[in-house]
Amino acid sequence: MPRIIVLPNADLCPDGAVLDDVANGTSICDALLAHDIEIEHACEKSCACTTCHVIVREGGESLNEADELEEDMLDKAWGLEAQSRLSCQALVDGQDLVVEIPRYTINHAREHH
Protein backbone atom coordinates (compact mmCIF):
# COMPACT_ATOMS: atom_id res chain seq x y z
CA MET A 1 0.00 0.00 0.00
CA PRO A 2 1.21 3.50 -0.73
CA ARG A 3 2.47 5.92 1.84
CA ILE A 4 2.07 9.66 2.14
CA ILE A 5 5.07 11.73 3.14
CA VAL A 6 3.86 14.96 4.73
CA LEU A 7 6.34 17.83 4.60
CA PRO A 8 6.78 19.81 7.83
CA ASN A 9 4.02 22.30 8.65
CA ALA A 10 4.63 24.61 11.60
CA ASP A 11 1.12 24.23 12.98
CA LEU A 12 -0.08 20.76 12.01
CA CYS A 13 3.05 18.57 11.99
CA PRO A 14 6.24 20.52 12.73
CA ASP A 15 8.52 17.54 12.02
CA GLY A 16 6.62 16.25 9.03
CA ALA A 17 5.18 12.74 8.99
CA VAL A 18 5.17 9.49 7.07
CA LEU A 19 1.79 7.83 6.77
CA ASP A 20 2.39 4.16 5.98
CA ASP A 21 -0.05 1.73 4.41
CA VAL A 22 -2.67 4.17 3.14
CA ALA A 23 -5.38 2.16 1.40
CA ASN A 24 -6.10 2.88 -2.25
CA GLY A 25 -9.25 4.96 -2.61
CA THR A 26 -8.60 6.84 0.65
CA SER A 27 -8.67 10.62 0.31
CA ILE A 28 -5.55 12.48 1.36
CA CYS A 29 -7.72 14.37 3.87
CA ASP A 30 -8.98 11.16 5.51
CA ALA A 31 -5.45 9.74 5.64
CA LEU A 32 -4.14 12.89 7.35
CA LEU A 33 -7.00 12.93 9.87
CA ALA A 34 -6.54 9.20 10.61
CA HIS A 35 -2.91 9.94 11.54
CA ASP A 36 -3.80 12.83 13.88
CA ILE A 37 -2.84 15.56 11.42
CA GLU A 38 -5.77 17.89 11.97
CA ILE A 39 -6.07 19.47 8.53
CA GLU A 40 -8.96 21.89 8.34
CA HIS A 41 -12.03 20.65 6.43
CA ALA A 42 -14.70 23.26 7.06
CA CYS A 43 -17.21 21.88 4.57
CA GLU A 44 -17.01 18.36 6.02
CA LYS A 45 -15.26 17.08 2.86
CA SER A 46 -18.04 18.01 0.43
CA CYS A 47 -15.86 20.00 -2.01
CA ALA A 48 -17.49 23.27 -0.96
CA CYS A 49 -14.49 25.15 0.45
CA THR A 50 -10.70 25.24 0.13
CA THR A 51 -9.59 24.72 3.73
CA CYS A 52 -8.15 21.24 3.02
CA HIS A 53 -5.99 22.50 0.13
CA VAL A 54 -2.69 20.65 -0.24
CA ILE A 55 0.13 20.74 -2.75
CA VAL A 56 1.12 17.31 -4.07
CA ARG A 57 4.88 17.64 -4.61
CA GLU A 58 5.41 14.05 -5.85
CA GLY A 59 3.13 11.29 -7.08
CA GLY A 60 0.25 13.53 -8.14
CA GLU A 61 -0.08 11.83 -11.52
CA SER A 62 -1.39 8.72 -9.72
CA LEU A 63 -4.33 10.59 -8.16
CA ASN A 64 -7.80 10.70 -9.65
CA GLU A 65 -8.25 13.70 -11.91
CA ALA A 66 -9.73 16.84 -10.40
CA ASP A 67 -13.29 17.40 -11.60
CA GLU A 68 -14.75 20.75 -12.64
CA LEU A 69 -16.17 21.49 -9.17
CA GLU A 70 -12.80 20.89 -7.51
CA GLU A 71 -11.03 23.02 -10.15
CA ASP A 72 -13.51 25.86 -9.53
CA MET A 73 -12.96 25.64 -5.76
CA LEU A 74 -9.17 25.51 -6.15
CA ASP A 75 -9.30 28.83 -8.00
CA LYS A 76 -10.24 30.35 -4.62
CA ALA A 77 -7.45 28.64 -2.64
CA TRP A 78 -4.74 30.69 -0.97
CA GLY A 79 -1.30 29.91 -2.45
CA LEU A 80 -2.65 27.95 -5.44
CA GLU A 81 -0.02 26.02 -7.43
CA ALA A 82 -0.18 23.75 -10.46
CA GLN A 83 0.03 20.70 -8.16
CA SER A 84 -2.69 21.94 -5.80
CA ARG A 85 -5.56 19.63 -4.87
CA LEU A 86 -8.37 19.61 -2.36
CA SER A 87 -7.29 16.79 -0.08
CA CYS A 88 -10.90 15.67 0.42
CA GLN A 89 -11.19 14.97 -3.32
CA ALA A 90 -7.73 13.54 -4.10
CA LEU A 91 -7.82 9.74 -3.81
CA VAL A 92 -4.69 7.66 -3.23
CA ASP A 93 -4.11 5.14 -6.01
CA GLY A 94 -1.07 2.91 -5.69
CA GLN A 95 1.76 5.43 -5.63
CA ASP A 96 3.63 7.10 -2.78
CA LEU A 97 2.88 10.80 -2.42
CA VAL A 98 4.77 13.77 -1.05
CA VAL A 99 2.29 16.34 0.23
CA GLU A 100 2.75 19.89 1.49
CA ILE A 101 0.06 21.48 3.63
CA PRO A 102 0.20 25.22 2.92
CA ARG A 103 0.96 27.40 5.92
CA TYR A 104 -2.29 29.30 5.50
CA THR A 105 -5.81 28.54 4.39
CA ILE A 106 -8.11 31.23 3.08
CA ASN A 107 -9.80 31.24 6.54
CA HIS A 108 -6.51 31.48 8.40
CA ALA A 109 -5.18 34.28 6.17
CA ARG A 110 -8.38 36.25 6.66
CA GLU A 111 -8.35 35.84 10.45
CA HIS A 112 -4.77 37.00 10.83
CA HIS A 113 -4.78 40.19 8.74
pLDDT one-digit tens code per residue, 62-71: 999 999 999 9
Phi, psi (rounded to 5 degrees) for 68: -60, -40
Give every residue of the chain whose pLDDT is below 70, as ranges: 105-113
Report how far residue 88's alpha carbon sits from residue 30's, in angstroms, rounded to the nearest whole number.
7
Q: How far apart are CA 71 and CA 47, in angstroms?
A: 10
Q: What is the dihedral of CA 104, 96, 30, 51, to 10 degrees?
A: 20
pLDDT of residue 108: 56
CATH number of 4-111: 3.10.20.30
